Amino acid sequence: MMSIETAQAKSPTLNELKDVCKWNGQHVSGTKAMLMARMIDGQMNGRLSRCPLCTQGRLQLKDDKATEVLCKGYFDEEKSYRVDCGNVMPVKEAPRLHPWFATQPNEEEKSEMAAADELAKTGVDASASKQALEAYLKAASDKLEWE
């Protein structure tokens, strides 16, 4: 496993790290070391999915040591308030989505990412089953009205 210090020696810029995190639906705030840790974790394990406890919050690395992930909760749009979660788990137990994008995803890939994210919000572990994602996409496409 490459250490954060070794990865920093190759020195992608802060904006490049933010772009990679953004393409993969990960948090873009924090220090360069934190962004580098997210990128290394994502390349090794895949994108962090939604929290399996609250199903709405986004998981994130707890710190730049990348040993645990946490969910801080989410904002409930319908009720107009923040819902705290506080779920913490080892990084190896976190639900993941694949692939990790090192370059900007195309429109089809973005659509698949959005569908996987919506599926994760229902409580289904989209990382565990490609068939579940395909079934979700088929059900969503069946609801479309074609002209």
Assigned domain for 36 exists: yes
- The C-alpha atoms of residue 52 and residue 134 are separated, in whole angstroms, by 20
Tell me the average pLDDT across 120-132.
Answer: 68
Is the pLDDT at 43 greater than 90? The verdict is yes
On whether residue 147 sits in a domain, the answer given is: no
96 found inside a domain: yes
Number of domains the chain contains? 1
Contact 130, 123 (CB under 8 A): no
Domain assignment present for residue 98? The answer is yes
Domain carrying residue 53: 4-142
3-state SS, residue 9: helix
Tell me whether residue 43 is in a domain. Answer: yes
Tens-digit pLDDT profile for residues 54-105: 999 999 999 767 899 999 999 999 999 999 999 999 999 999 999 999 999 9
Residue 97 is assigned to a structural domain of this protein? yes
For the chain, what percent of residues have pLDDT higher than 70? 79
